[in-house]
Amino acid sequence: MMKPFRKKELETTYEIAPEHILEVKDLHVRIAVDDYDLHAVRGVNFSLKKGETLGLVGESGCGKSVTSKEILGINPGNCRSEGQILYRTKSGKVLNLLELDRDGTVYRAIRGAEISMIFQEPMTAFSPLYTIGNQLAEIITLHDPKATKASARQRVLEMLRKVGIANPEKRIDQYPHEFSGGMLQRALIAMMLCCDPDLLIADEPTTALDVTIQAQILDLMRSLQKEFGMSILFITHDLGTVANMCDNVAVMYLGEIVEYGTVRQIFHNPQHPYTRGLLRSLPKMDQVRDEKLYIINGVVPLPVGLQANCGFHDRCEECIAGRCDTQEIPEFEAEPGHMVRCIKLEKQEVHHG
């Protein structure tokens, strides 16, 4: 069992909007692979309010998970990052997480206690060598030096009840292989909530589950968010889940956020061709039996040697030759709070902040 660690305050602090718990500013992440770099995240900006759920949406390989792991400081050592990730701690101090030592005392105190993450594969999230109760209790004793084995066990039992695991007095002493996939996901959520975090990052939390269990897990997350007042960064490629879970949506493509707005703005007034393509790809209840689903032709390219242009231009049915493929596209404001990175909105007011 690791020894508990205590927070040390840093002298350098920053300012963010009073209602925000997180602000990501001009984030770039490059991954060194052999003799070249993958520019996985390119100038990403977004913010998150207390109690809000932001959906980060896009195809596999667009940079969603790299962005989320950079917030926690758990990307592998071959990743280099630039920009700012400003986080308001429980003490009220605002820190730039990119300036912290990833293995240092401050980051380790924040990681798990203030910012937690639910990973997409619950089957591999637990060690097979220790009981579920032992692994959940370790999180508590690691972040709370005053916690005893008895108090940690009671807290674990309380959290297992909250996430709907039946007979927690028995389950607490069982091993991961004795849990079903849905129960493991619930146990993982309990683990992430043991220290009452302010920010929960959910990276495809229902991908490995069947649809019935998915609905139960999403309902559970909503109720726990309401109870604990958490902010949630919800990462997914499932737009149906986004419609049910999120307040705001950031659509990501090739390491950039190409459209940002409320759920209503994104679903009822999508402006970027990529967003419209994603929505058209969804099956509909009134769809004719033999009608084929819409497909966005091509795949997300490797982020290597990227030029100053729209990253989506070679897959876009609305591409303007000589413009989309030759110049960097700024953000435009389609309507208040609805930002779009598309040249077709250039007559709109450019967003500067």
Q: Is residue 266 part of a domain?
A: no
Q: What is the largest CA-CA distance in the chain?
A: 68
Domain with 297, as residue range(s), is 272-345
Q: Is residue 131 part of a domain?
A: yes
Distance CA 270, CA 277 (A): 10
Band of residue 261 on the pLDDT scale cut at 50, 70, 90: very high
- Average the pLDDT over 185-195 and give the result: 86
Band of residue 334 on the pLDDT scale cut at 50, 70, 90: very high
- Asked which of 123-127, 137-141, 157-161, 269-273 is least confident by mean pLDDT, the reply is 123-127
Domain boundary among 154, 176, 194: 194
Q: What is the pLDDT of residue 177?
A: 93
Distance CA 172, CA 135 (A): 10
Sequence-separated contacts (24+) of 213-220 with Cβ below 8 Å: 213/181, 213/182, 213/185, 214/241, 216/164, 216/182, 217/182, 217/185, 217/186, 217/189, 218/244, 218/245, 220/163, 220/164, 220/186, 220/189
Q: Rounded to whole angstroms, what are the CA distances from 20 to 17, 35, 49, 84? A: 5, 39, 4, 14
Q: Is residue 158 part of a domain?
A: yes
Residue 155 has pLDDT above 50, yes or no: yes
- Total of domains in the chain: 2
Q: Is residue 138 part of a domain?
A: yes
Q: Do residues 256 and 44 lie in contact, with contact meaning Cβ atoms separated by under 8 Å?
A: yes
Q: Is residue 244 part of a domain?
A: no
Q: Tokens standing for 317?
A: 């049915």
High-pLDDT (> 70) share of the chain, %? 93
Q: Is residue 245 part of a domain?
A: no
Distance CA 269, CA 120 (A): 30
Question: Whole-model pTM?
Answer: 0.87
**pLDDT per residue as tens digits for the range 219-260:** 888 888 888 889 999 998 888 888 888 999 999 999 999 999
Residue 1 has pLDDT above 50, yes or no: no
Q: Is residue 235 part of a domain?
A: no
Domain boundary among 144, 162, 194: 194
Q: Rounded to whole angstroms, what are the CA distances from 349 to 250, 281, 287, 339? A: 20, 30, 38, 10
- Average the pLDDT over 159-163 and give the result: 89
Domain boundary among 194, 222, 250: 194
Q: Is residue 260 part of a domain?
A: no
Residue 4 has pLDDT above 70, yes or no: no
Q: What is the pLDDT of residue 228?
A: 84
Residue 9 has pLDDT above 60, yes or no: no
Residue 350 has pLDDT above 50, yes or no: no
**pLDDT per residue as tens digits for the range 274-324:** 999 999 888 777 767 777 888 888 888 888 888 889 999 999 999 999 899
Q: Which of 1-10, 23-32, 302-311 has the highest mean pLDDT?
A: 23-32
